[in-house]
Amino acid sequence: MKKDEIIALLNQDLESEHGAIIQYLTHAYAMGEGEMACEIEAIAREEMRHFDWLAETIVQLGGKPSLNRGKMRMGGETVSDWMQNDVLAEQDAIILYKEHIEAIDDPKIKRLLKRVLSDEESHHGDFTHFVDKAKREGSKDLRGDRQDKVAQVLNWGIEHEYTVILQYLLHSYLATDEEVKEQLQDQAINEMQHMGWLAEEMVSGGGNPRMEHTEVDKSTRMDNMLRADIKIEKEVAAAYDRAAKEVKDEGLKKLLTRIRDHEIYHIDVFGDLLKGVEK
């Protein structure tokens, strides 16, 4: 099989992982705090690891990772319904990985896909268990229909964090400098924390997190990547600062201020990296 054909199959897998991550996080956030929500978030983190492995492999083959989001099943009236949708998502993934393992003749990539497949089969069992567990425990959707200024601020923050997670990960995969790659991945992980904090704040306050992103910078030169990353961080640090001054809730004010301070740190890190790249 030619490299471009393998890249196309791996990008299908990558898009599937992306969809699963957002589907599972949405379900976990909507349930609030609790054991099952934590377990689902742990599964989402394993899907993030798969996403990372696949993207790195695509770049090694000379391709560019797709940022498209695969199919998601977001319907269902009860948590048990959601868990059944997650079972179906895992069934889809298992079928896809088996097809690609059969089609791809590169032994190293086959080995990677078999490793991922073993996780998906385990996740399938976990979600099958959660279908019944949700019924027994009476798990509920804790999201509300809050639409005020606070909800708008939180959803804006979630949208931003989702965008830069994708942007920094893509830039890290394409970066040729190891320090740049490592720092971009570290800051992406920090942005994942922010997205979780904001989504959980939204649900606890009676809102519904909107898990969507805006346009991602797809520069391929490291200097252009870092300039784009600095630009978006400066804009968002200023926006978080304004929002923190406007909100009245002290807890939310502290959260927004903390995230603002993290974004300022990112600006400094990316600025140092850019100076090194420009030398």
- Give the pLDDT score at 279: 83
* CATH code for position 28: 1.20.1260.10
Q: How far is CA 38 from CA 45, 46, 144, 193, 222, in A?
A: 11, 13, 21, 14, 36
pLDDT digits (tens, 9 = 90+) for 169-223: 999 999 999 999 999 999 999 999 999 999 999 999 999 999 999 999 999 999 9
How many folded domains does the chain comprise? 2
Rg (CA), the chain: 20
Structural domain for 200, as ranges: 149-278
Tokens of 60: 């090694």
104 and 162 in a single domain? The answer is no
- Give the pLDDT score at 33: 86
Q: Is the pLDDT of residue 235 over 90?
A: yes
158 and 274 in a single domain? The answer is yes
109 and 22 in a single domain? The answer is yes
pLDDT band at 1 (very low <50, low <70, confident <90, very high): confident
- Give the pLDDT score at 109: 98
Query: Is the pTM here over 0.75, yes or no?
Result: yes
Share of the chain above pLDDT 70, in %: 100
Q: How far apart are CA 62 and CA 167, in angstroms?
A: 19
Q: Is residue 32 part of a domain?
A: yes
Burial class (CB in 10 A: 0-12, 13-18, 19+), 132: exposed
pLDDT digits (tens, 9 = 90+) for 104-119: 999 999 999 999 999 9
pLDDT digits (tens, 9 = 90+) for 33-74: 889 999 999 999 999 999 999 999 999 999 999 999 999 999
Q: How far apart are CA 189 and CA 94, in angstroms?
A: 27
What's the chain's average pLDDT? 97
Q: How far is CA 9 from CA 14, 20, 57, 179, in A?
A: 9, 17, 12, 30
Tokens of 176: 């040729």
205 and 158 in a single domain? The answer is yes
Angle CA 181–182–188, to nearest 5 = 90
Tokens of 111: 């080995």
89 and 213 in a single domain? The answer is no
